[in-house]
Amino acid sequence: MVNQGGSSQTSTGLRVCAVDPGLTRCGIAVVDIAANRKARLVDVVVVGSPSTDPIGDRLAIIDATMDDWLAKYQPDHLAVERMFAQHNTPTIMGTAQASGVAIAAAARKNIPAALLTPSEVKAAVTGSGSADKKQITAMVTRILGLATPPKPADAADAIAIAIAHAWRGGLFGRGLDTGKLTSPAKASKFSSRQGQGHLTAAQQLWLAAERRAK
C-alpha cells in the first residue's frame, strides 16, 4: 500500500491525481493543494491513442499510465469527471470505460475516488458552471501562478478537476464517492462553513445535473 491516508506530500494539504477521461485524449494531472487553498502543479500529461487501435490497447495505455503515476506520486485522492449518459456523444461509452480503468487503478492502491460533474468543476474554478474552455485555462493558469497556460492545452481540464475536488471538500476529508451521488443535502450536512440548508452555486448546478441524470 502506497497511500497512508491523510496527506502524503503536503503536511496539511492534499495531493490529488485528477483524470479528465477519454480514449483519444486522457488528461492526468497531479496537484498539491495546501490547507490555505494554494495549488501547485506537480505533473500533468495527456495520453491517448487513435480510434483505429483495438479497445484493449487503448485502455491499456491509461491503465499503465495510472499505475505508474499513482505509484510515483502517491496521491491522497483520485478525482474523476462524473459523466451522464445524457451527454450522449459518440465517444461517451469509451470515456466511461477510461474513467472506470482509472478508478480501478486507484482502488488497487487503496486511493479513494471522488467524482465531480463538469459543472461542479467549472463553478469551483471560475465561479460559473457554464464557463468555456478558455476561461478554465485562464483560471487554472492564474490559480497555479503560472506565467503561461499549462501544456498540453487539454491538460487544463484535469488540473481544474484536481483543484475543484480539493476546494470543494477534499481538503477536509469530504467529497469522496460513497456510491450514491453526493447530493447537496448530504454535502450541506457536512459543510458548516456554508451554513446548513444553503446551497452554493456549485451545489445548485450539481442538483440540476443530478436531476437531469434521473
**Contact residues for a second copy, defined by CB under 8 A:** 50-60, 62-63, 78, 83-90, 92-93, 96-101, 103-104, 106-108, 111-113, 115, 176-180, 213-214
- Output the smallest distance, CB 150 to a second copy, in A: 26
What residues are paired with 43 via a beta bridge? Answer: 30
169 by DSSP, 3-state: which?
A: coil
From the list 32, 81, 157, 177, the catalytic residue is 81
Q: What share of the chain is helix, strand, coil (3-state, %, to 5)?
A: 45, 15, 35
76 is in an annotated binding site: no
**Closer to a second copy by Cβ: residue 12 or 51:** 51
85 by DSSP, 3-state: which?
A: helix
Pairing of strands 113-116, 77-81: parallel
Residue 72: C-alpha distances to residues 43, 66, 164 (Å): 11, 10, 22
Q: What single-letter DSSP state applies at residue 180?
A: B
154 is in an annotated binding site: yes
User: Is residue 120 annotated as part of the catalytic site, yes or no?
Assistant: no
20 is in an annotated binding site: yes
User: Is residue 210 annotated as part of the catalytic site, yes or no?
Assistant: no
Q: Which residues are annotated as a binding site?
A: 20, 81, 154
Q: Which residues are annotated as a binding site for Mg(2+)?
A: 20, 81, 154
Active site residues: 20, 81, 154
